[in-house]
Chains A and B, each alone.
Chain A
Amino acid sequence: MWVAALLLVTLLGTGLVFLSPDRYAGKLAAAISAVPALGSIYMYWVYLTQYGGTGNALLSPADIAFGQQLPWITLGELEVSYYVGLDGISMPLLALTTVLTTLAIVSAWTPIDERQSQFYGLMLFMEVSLIGVFSALDFFLWFVFWEGVLIPMYLLIGIWGGPRRKYAAIKFFVYTNVASLIMFAGLFALVFSTDLTSLSLPAMAEAFRTASGLPTIAGMNLMTISFIMMFFGFAVKVPVFPLHTWLPDAHVEAPTPVSVMLAGVLLKMGTYALLRFNFTMLADTARQLAVPLAIIGVVSVIYGAMLALAQRDLKRIVAYSSISSMGYVILGLVAFTPYGMGGATFQMIAHGLISGLMFMCVGVIYNTTHTRMVGDMSGLADRMPWTVGIFVAAAFGYMGLPLMAGFAGEYFIFQGSFNAPTLGGAAPVLTSLAMFGIVIVAGYLLWAMQRTLFGAFSLETDYEVSPAAFHDVAPLAVLLLLVIALGVAPDLSFAMIQDSISPVLEIGGGA
């Protein structure tokens, strides 16, 4: 019931905001999005205090929290139902989504000044879809939400974006849609080769795990082929090298609040789906393919970081560093250890908060200076001390400063993958290589900060720079506090993640 209430309130809010006049749209949207945010925080609290030891939603359906299942349609022999519910993996992601949406909406008050009701309406519509993606437990329902995210995102980039918005929006849409198609084909190849009677995710997990006698195509087992196709489909969303090129374009062109959502939540859809489908349903195959997948992750880490080093646009820097950070998640997932997989999930939350924070900081600076280019401005610390203070804190968070969430996530992943049984002798080497990312990330962020924030004040554009408004800084402060809270007490999320990860580790090759 709780999840349905979240979906319904947000959906009704979407309609309401679409119809409201532009003047009130922003405030109204913030107020409406606060309802699911507070609701999910309450659910989080209930989960934290009452659902200790809840297992994985896909592997032990009896343990699903806030679950609800209603029959929906029948497709041939396949039963499709409205089936939602949460576990320790999706609960933090759901809370991340709702909280980040509210903050992104507040941060949009300053930069968005045309077609406001439509902008905020689309933001809320995206929230509906995202809540659905993280809570749906039926493939059909899940896929509807999964694709539903693309539509508002496409419009948000395409209408409110920068000069090359059409190119970026179409690239984003086509790229991710093609990926979805390949994923869909891969998954349904498996669905049709097993005797499934229901499209619910737990049923699929069960069927794929016990599937035997699958056909072999060109010397490869269908399981492996499907795994690769699904990995490809989800990896585009993450994104990993070399499927990442839509991301910098989309980030640069998207308005800041949309970038926040894109980096903060949309990228996590990819890793969430990887964890649910590839690494839970096809765990055995994932173990077999661990080394090549880990190499992809490590290459993403280093490649993304090196590219961030070459950028001048602050948003591009953060965009490329997102590729780098998400590479860690892949490395953690393939490790199949408590710290590896748990850390990867934790890193999704941590990176969601920190990259959202970074994008918001860049946005606040852009609102006043109207430029994002390193070199066009310097000495901003002189004019906007609190914003710059939070920027510096956020940047250090991104660099993995201890007692902030980023360090916890990265450390867990390193700890988990350093002696991962799936990677064998390559584990320490690959982990050490990935760790070098923390040096490069310090390089480009420190360089960018030195050039833009410090030194004598100067600005290429003709704008008066003054401290940002309270409602611009407040979301930053809230996010920073969350980042620090999770860094000091990672068990706020890590414990429930661990509860839901451990069943995944037990299947297949054992823990």
Chain B
Amino acid sequence: MAAFTYAPAIVLLPFVSFLVALFAGDRMPKGGALAGITATGGSLLLSIWVALTVAGGDVHNEILYQWTTSVETLQLNFGLLLDPLSALMLLIVCLISFLVHIFSLGYMNDEGETGLPRYYAGLGLFTASMLGFVVANNLLMAFMFFELVGLCSYLLIGFWFRDDGPPSAAKKAFLVTRFGDYFFLIGVVGIFATFGTGLFAPITQGGEVVAESFPMLAEHAIVDGETAGIAMLETVGMGPQQWFTVLGLLVLGGVVGKSAQFPLHTWLPDAMEGPTPVSALIHAATMVAAGVYLVARMYGFYALSPTALAVIALIGGFTALFAATMGLVKQEIKQVLAYSTISQYGYMMLALGSGGYIAAVFHLTTHAVFKALLFLGAGSVIIAMHHNENMWDMGGLKDRMPVTYWTFLAGSLALAGIVPFAGFWSKDEVLYEALIHGFGTEGGLGTAYLIAYAMGLLAVFFTGFYTFRMVYLTFHGDARSDTARDPEPVRWNVKGPLTVLGILATTIGFINMAPVAKLTGAEIDFLHKWLNGPENGGWPAALNTGLHHYEGLLHDVSHVVKGYPLGETPTLLASAGVSLGLALAGVLVARTLYAGADPVEHTDKLGGLKTLLMHNYYQDEYQVWLATGVTYPLARVMNKFDQGVVDGVVNGISSVSLFGGSRIRRIQSGVVSNYATLLTLGLVLLLAAFGIMGGWF
């Protein structure tokens, strides 16, 4: 397919823009922005072409470049896997990146920032790395680009390196995600050692499988008992399912780090120190999505392990609730959005864990759009407010910046999950899947799903509340500061991306209105069809990455079963009704408390709980304590040990030699007679010794 021939250019174009911006950015107009816009625009067009080709039923899985060829038993490669999932993700990343580049013209160039080539180079490298991660056809390549994405995040969070906050936040972001990536790396190495391949999907030539994928090998091992070729099982002394669960959980470490799930979520709120367009691109729409995308990418592997599924669902549900509560009391607009991001990724994890593959991808898509919109909207507000982010200094911006207000409102409604905005459809599907699988599945897994569902449901209320608390404080009421009374106007390059995203946030939910489809029988669950593919044959049969295959695995291996406590349709309606009701309740409470002309800080009534929430449950404190209160003192003690004991022994040996020398040298008295005496004595002793040994006596 021609589109697939040019697909590598999707990744390479932004990389070229990185080089151009880095080395020639300061000689170009707009500091390299145009290179970035051209490159991401080009990538976007190519992605659309790829998506259209994939829609025609073609998929692509090919090795492009052999990283190492010399070890025949295990070759490490770079390759492209273009199937509906990656084509969708390519579209999302290219679109958001393109819009963020345009928005940056308003946020960075128009604000007279210095160091723009560095900024645009960072954006270009980030886009290239993220796209490389998306198209990766094996786990090692995914890991490599995953790490590069982390590097770009470091560079961009720390963009304003002259201040103290951003470098510190950048360090924290890289370190915390690195901690997760440590487990991921063990997982990667383990999977390669176990299966001898890291392919996500089998490579076929003329219908014949020439290289099998690791999820398929794992499936054969568990389902068909083909464990003969897997030497690793003997090394670790575990059964296949047990060991694959361990591997899956290790990879999950990286996911938890990058997707900011509990307990490695602490870096994300700090990452808001970076420029706002970066927050929109990296810390909301794309990089954070990498973790969730990875789970979806190797879903065929996770579907084999009920334990891993339960862990994913519980982490997701807990994070959704946990982060939402912290978002309740924040004062900076970007902080609220940061915690909502963590919370929303919790939902995606909840969906993946509870067998809602479509729901997770759906929520990933809608969230990318509405969260990018909200961040860019916040960026617009921040421009207007001269970089004051405190919502208590805002108010009344509704009339002064209508485009921002209406688009931000669309994004907020989507985030809160109000019908018919995008978030409603996806979040409802997430919760619905968790609910029915929770009721249907036997044993601990079902219980885990129900607990996770309950936490997710409760978080819906909080989401509605903090979202509209933010909207009311920012845009409604009276202006509470001089800058809010006379905000700086924003130009087309800010309004344009906001409008595009605003329209999408309103409408993108229509790609998969599963409840409506079920009720009316109309075939409008397009995303479902997109990811499911043809029922027989076609790409799902070749790649085994289709929904149908995953559902089979969930049902047969992990025994995830659907159950309807009230019958199918009433359950569907009840689930949607409950979550919508809770969301509306949250919005109404926020309206009651904060919609007035001059709102007051009601959260003070929470007392000690507020302090706890403001301090984020002391999560940061304990992690900082782990670093500076445990690890660093331990290092100091080890340093003392090294200097004192290890080096002490070395110096001790030299001291003993020196001391011994200084004593023995006293034989060298300078008196010739003494030397003669010693000589004589030595001779006599030697003679005596020889005599005794020779038996002369």
Contacts and interface: CB of A to CB of B under 8 A. Distances in A.
| A touches B in complex, CB < 8 A | yes
Interface of A: 171, 174-175, 241-242, 244-246, 303, 306-307, 309-311, 338-339, 342, 379, 381-382, 392, 396, 399, 401-403, 407-408, 411-412, 414-415, 418-419, 424-425, 427-428, 431-432, 435-436, 438-439, 442-443, 446-447, 449-450, 453-457, 489-491, 494-495, 497-499
Interface in B522-574: none
Given A175-B650, A342-B70, A425-B236, 14 more contacts: A174-B654, A310-B635, A402-B148, A403-B144, A403-B148, A415-B192, A419-B194, A443-B175, A443-B627, A453-B161, A453-B167, A454-B161, A491-B66, A498-B71
A245 B190 contact: no
B151 A401 contact: yes
Contacts of B182: 435-436, 438-439
B694 interface: no
- Chain B, interface SS category: helix
A72 to B, nearest CB: 36
B285 interface: no
B189 A456 contact: no
A419 B232 contact: yes
A438 B178 contact: yes
A210 B627 CA distance: 53
A455 B185 contact: no
A471 B237 CA distance: 57
Contact of A455 (B70, B163, B634, B649): B163
- Chain A, interface SS category: helix
A29 to B, nearest CB: 31
Contacts of A309: 631-632, 635
Contacts of A436: 182
B392 interface: no
B647 interface: yes
23 contacts: A175-B650, A241-B646, A309-B632, A338-B70, A338-B71, A342-B71, A401-B147, A402-B143, A402-B144, A402-B147, A407-B147, A414-B189, A419-B235, A425-B237, A431-B189, A443-B627, A447-B171, A450-B170, A454-B166, A455-B162, A457-B162, A491-B69, A494-B70
Contacts of A424: 235
Interface stretch (B305-313, B377-385, B588-596, B636-644): B636-644
Nearest to B632: A309
Contacts of B69: 491, 495
A428 B638 contact: no
A391 to B, nearest CB: 13
A479 B235 CA distance: 40
User: What are the 6 tightest A-B residue pairs by CB atom distance, in nearest-first order?
Assistant: A402-B144, A454-B167, A498-B70, A310-B639, A309-B635, A310-B635
Interface in B133-179: 140, 143-145, 147-148, 151, 155, 158, 161-164, 166-168, 170-171, 174-175, 178-179
- Most A CB contacts (10 A, CB to CB) among B70, B148, B167, B171 go to B70
B677 interface: no
B520 interface: no
B193 interface: yes
Interface of B: 66-71, 73-74, 140, 143-145, 147-148, 151, 155, 158, 161-164, 166-168, 170-171, 174-175, 178-179, 182, 185-186, 189-190, 192-194, 231-232, 235-237, 627, 631-632, 634-636, 638-639, 642, 646-647, 649-650, 654
A54 to B, nearest CB: 13
A339 B151 contact: no
A495 B638 contact: no
A450 B168 contact: yes
A446 to B, nearest CB: 4
- Most A CB contacts (10 A, CB to CB) among B66, B73, B171, B193 go to B193
Contact of B642 (A307, A339, A427): A307
B70 A171 contact: no
Contacts of B67: 408, 489-491
A381 B161 contact: yes
Nearest to B173: A446
B190 A418 contact: yes
A413 to B, nearest CB: 10
Contacts of A456: 162-164
Contacts of B627: 443
B174 A442 contact: yes
Contacts of A382: 161-162
A446 B171 contact: yes
A245 B650 contact: yes
A501 B189 CA distance: 21
A306 B232 CA distance: 31
A306 B639 CA distance: 8
Contacts of A306: 634-635, 638
Contacts of B70: 338, 342, 491, 494-495, 497-499
A246 B168 CA distance: 34
A338 B192 CA distance: 14
Contacts of B193: 415, 418-419, 428
Contacts of A414: 185, 189
A401 B186 contact: no
Contact of B235 (A402, A428, A498): A428
Nearest to B67: A490
A396 B71 contact: no
Nearest to B650: A245
A442 B175 contact: yes
B647 A245 contact: yes
B231 A432 contact: no
A450 B232 contact: no
Contact of B650 (A171, A310, A339, A455): A171
A418 B189 contact: yes
Given A245-B650, A443-B631, A498-B70, A307 B144 contact: no
Contacts of A174: 654
A302 to B, nearest CB: 10
A395 to B, nearest CB: 11
Nearest to B147: A402
A457 B69 CA distance: 47
A174 B71 CA distance: 41
A174 B186 CA distance: 40
B364 to A, nearest CB: 24
